[in-house]
Amino acid sequence: MARRSRPRTVQVPQGATTVCIPTQRGSKNAPPVFVVVSETRPSLSSRIARTVGGWAWHHRAAWAPTGYAVLAYALVSVVHLIAPWTVFVLAPAALLPLLGLWWTRSKYPERIGERPGRLLTAAALAAGAVGWAAATVHYGPLTAPLAWAWAGLTVAVQSFWLAVRRSK
């Protein structure tokens, strides 16, 4: 069966896709069937989600602490349900950042560098975050004061992150 080599000219609206269905057996004189598939416009909510997602992806490095805070909230919620005994590991671990800074400052003061305030702030925020995680594992993620503490820590860490990134 011979195939036609030249395309048929059919008027199609802009942005549409045409599909040519070849002629079937027995209907040699019948005109070819064309199906016009037009793209549907995305809904308002999908356009908003795409815009917000594109903005978040473009600024992902600047908003990394907030993403990690949301991830930590979800993980601590799951740990509260599955393994509440982890509070006995997290509670002593809350002191490790401050102890590490004290150890470094007493044994190797040359490693502290030009900006010791940054290290102290980072250690205090890390200790607060691990302390918050320990309290949330023990009391539950829906405790109102712990939710406010999470929000405050998130804002503080995000502000610290943006200030440190700008001053480099």
Q: Give residue-wise pLDDT tens across range 132-160.
A: 999 999 999 999 999 999 999 999 999 99
**pTM score over 0.95:** no
pLDDT at 25: 67
The H-or-E segment that residue 163 falls in is: helix 144-166
End-to-end CA distance of the chain: 72
Residues 17-69: tens digit of each pLDDT = 666 666 666 666 767 666 777 778 889 999 999 999 999 899 888 999 999 99
Residues 60-84: tens digit of each pLDDT = 889 999 999 999 999 999 999 999 9
Domain range list for the chain: 60-166
Q: Comparing C-alpha atoms, which of 168, 163, 157, 162 is closest to residue 61?
A: 162
